Structure 1
Amino acid sequence: MWDIYQRDGRGVAVRSTWDRLTSSLSDPHEIFGGLVKYVNYASDPFPDDNWITPYMHKRKSFEHEKEARLMLIDPHGFNAVSFEGSRQLGFGEFDDGEPPATHSVSVELTMLVEAIYVAPGTPEWQSNLVQRLAGRYLKECTFEHSSLDDAPIF
């Protein structure tokens, strides 16, 4: 996936767990989440049993992402706000008629981040910079280079 989401050795990936993610969030709103289900919209049955279902599904062609998704409920008008962006996802009216541009959620990074990986081909200076920043702000996380830069075993 390095080739899809970064270019020329300039990517950084963060490893976490579901428990770490949910424990790191701090917000008065109720936050819902789970794993995205990947479906073929032309042939797979699509459940319509609750309002959150459409936001927890994606096309089968994205299955390699293995995405987890979080959403929160705005109790003022029962509006769903997606963490994927700032678009309003439905239900109810906002007080001023306009959806908020964003909703910030406090995240405890030291709790969230378990490890940081730098992409294969990352220049040494950039890797060193990321490692120094991680050491300063995320003392408990591990720092690793992608194993795709390792020499082959044969």
Structure 2
Amino acid sequence: MAVITIDLAMHHLRAEPEDQVLVQAQLDASEEAAMQFLNRRFYLDQVALDEARAGVSQAMLEAKEANAAAMGAAETEQDHTLRCRLLEHARQSLAEAYDQADAVAYGMVLNPAIQAACLLKLGHLFANREEVVTGTIATELPLASQHLLMPYRIRMGV
């Protein structure tokens, strides 16, 4: 569900009403891309953020229980290679669940910089609907959306 309104997105793009379905899909994608880059979720207001954070403990508990069940099932496997794979899948599922919980726990309220970054990404998606552009000179544009998001990014990794 988009945090930025479709009306603002349509106005930003100066899109026609018949483009609304496409714009909504691209808006959802641009917001998700921003959240993935930030390694955290963002919400419309503090109430929505607080509601999301309220479920973090339960989500982590459920992930831990699912991991224990998966580890137990893996340990009963007789084939060594398959057992190792099942154990790795269980560890990976737990790590992903914890990462998702952390993204909510470290969530934030949408601010003008994040909104602008999402709208920039949306504009790029809307203007460049194909992966290949022919008949032009290729020029790399600075990634302004990443520059707007960078101060809010956490756990950048290597």
Q: Normalising by the residue count of structure 2, what TM-score does the alignment of the two structures yield?
A: 0.23
Structure with bigger strand share is: 1
Whose Rg is larger?
2
Higher RCO structure (Cα 8 Å, ≥6 apart): 2
Q: Normalising by the residue count of structure 1, what TM-score does the alignment of the two structures yield?
A: 0.23
Structure with bigger helix share is: 2
